[in-house]
Amino acid sequence: MQVELAKTAGFCFGVKRAVETVYQEIEKNDGDRIFTYGPIIHNDEVIADLKRQGVEVLNTLEELKRLAGGTVIIRSHGVPEAVCRLLEDKGIRYVDATCPFVKKIHQIVQKESRNGAHVVIIGNSAHPEVTGIQGWAAGPVDIIQNAEEAEAFSLENEGQKVCVVSQTTFNYNKFQELVEIITKKGYDIIVLNTICNATKERQEEASGIASRVGAMIVIGDKKSSNTQKLFEICSNACENTYYIQTLGDLNVNQLRSVESVGITAGASTPYKIIEEVQNYVRINF
């Protein structure tokens, strides 16, 4: 069987940096407790390994408020500005592992909103990255995820300045579609495509592979937004597309009737898992 592995599969720069930050803190730790505010990345395998090494996850703001000491690591998705201020006010040491591309969006939103712009974030309102971005705005924010929400977007002042940014892992083509709808409304709009290049390249490569193979395997955590987008894109190009978290989720019977398989993975997927899947498919089919 022919197996094609995407060159862009696996950890992106921001995820790799965040995970390495936690392991560095573990190595130099002198006995203090180490926490991450939310999972450092969306991958259960990585979180389980960090837990075995003593890293604790704080899942709510209430837990953070009760904290009396230790080191808090801010995850790759970033947090609202208020969370940073809370940690500073409590005198708790924190390490900011926010992806630099996400951090750039924080700075854009903070600056543009202070200058009077109404901020529009194109993304998933339930995703922690979007929550973090929203928390750096000094004024009103709208979050838009689909065409219906874009069509419904309306402001009283026709001359209102509007700043449009995107969740870094949003589908590039959908972003363009939603921007087109919003732009037609005639506001004083500035559009900043803040989808990270690694995401765009990963999506384009995955689509290309999926279009020429008999089956496509997408590897990543079920909570990973960028992996969900990859699965959606690959499904549109290849009807035999399968979403797995680890090799244990792979149904081998689904691959027996095809001659070629493509493999890609989300930005939070460790290479060890990708390698296990790739080797298994190569050896057994």
* CATH number reported for the structural domain that contains residue 91 in this entry: 3.40.50.11270
Q: Say how many CA atoms lie within 13 Å of 116 toward its Cβ.
A: 5
User: Residue 79: its pLDDT value, please?
Assistant: 97
* Number of domains observed in the structure of the chain: 3
Identify whether residues 171 and 221 lie together within a single domain: no
Q: Which amino acid is at 239?
A: E
Q: Residue 263: which pLDDT band, with cuts at 50, 70 and 90?
A: very high
Q: Quick one: pLDDT at residue 120?
A: 98
Residue 9: pLDDT band (50, 70, 90) is very high
Checking if the pLDDT of 20 tops 90, the result is yes
User: Same structural domain for residues 46 and 107?
Assistant: no
Q: Are residues 105 and 185 in the same domain?
A: yes
Asked if 95 and 130 sit in the same domain, the reply is no
Tokens (6 digits) for 150: 């874009």
What residue spans of the chain are helical by DSSP H?
13-28, 44-52, 61-66, 81-90, 100-114, 128-134, 147-152, 172-183, 197-210, 225-237, 271-284
CA dihedral of residues 238, 242, 245, 247 (deg, nearest 10): -110
Helix, strand, coil abundance in the chain, percent, nearest 5: 45, 20, 35
Pairing of strands 93-96, 141-144: unpaired
Q: Find tokens 């005639």 and name the residue.
A: 186
Residue 76 to residue 237: CA distance in whole angstroms: 30
The model carries a pTM of 0.86
Q: What is the mean pLDDT of residues 219-227?
A: 91
Choosing from 129, 148, 149, 275, the catalytic residue is 129
Distance CA 126, CA 168 (A): 14
- Among candidate residues 67, 99, 131, the one where a domain is terminated: 99
**pLDDT value, residue 109:** 98
Distances (CA, A) of 254 to 3, 209, 285: 15, 18, 11
Show Cβ contacts of residue 106 under 8 Å, excluding neighbours closer than 6 positions.
Answer: 78, 81, 98, 132, 133, 136
Inform me whether the pLDDT recorded for 67 exceeds 90: yes
pLDDT tens figures, 90-128:
999 999 999 999 999 999 999 999 999 999 999 999 999
Instruction: Read off the CATH number of the domain in which 250 is found.
Output: 3.40.1010.20
pLDDT at 155 over 90: yes
**Residue 249 CB coordination number (10 Å):** 13
* 56 tagged catalytic: no
Q: Helices 13-28 and 44-52 sit at what angle, rounded to 10 degrees?
A: 10
Question: Does the pLDDT of residue 47 top 90, yes or no?
Answer: yes
pLDDT band at 31 (very low <50, low <70, confident <90, very high): confident
% of the chain surpassing 90 pLDDT: 86
Assess whether pLDDT exceeds 90 at residue 160. yes
Burial group, residue 235, by CB count within 10 angstroms (0-12, 13-18, 19+): middle
Question: pLDDT digits over 239-252, tens only?
Answer: 999 999 999 999 98
Whether 87 and 111 map to the same domain: the answer is no
Nearest to 74 by CA among 126, 112, 114, 131: 131
| 51 shares a domain with 92 | yes
Residue after which a domain boundary falls, among 99, 134, 152: 99
- Both 90 and 24 in one domain: the answer is yes
Do 94 and 129 reside in the same domain of the chain? no
| Domain end point (choices 166, 191, 216) | 191
Residue 95 or residue 186, greater confidence: 95
Q: Is the pLDDT of residue 1 over 90?
A: no
Binned at pLDDT 50, 70 and 90, residue 157 comes out as confident
How confident is the prediction for the chain on average, in pLDDT? 95
What does the alpha-carbon distance between residue 179 and residue 121 come to, in Å, rounded to a whole number?
11
Shared-domain flag, residues 185 and 201? no
- Whether 65 has a pLDDT exceeding 90, the answer reads yes
DSSP three-state, residue 98: coil
Residues 94 and 165 placed together within one structural domain of the fold: no
pLDDT tens for 73-87 read: 999 999 999 999 999
**Segments forming the whole domain that contains residue 241:** 2-10+197-284
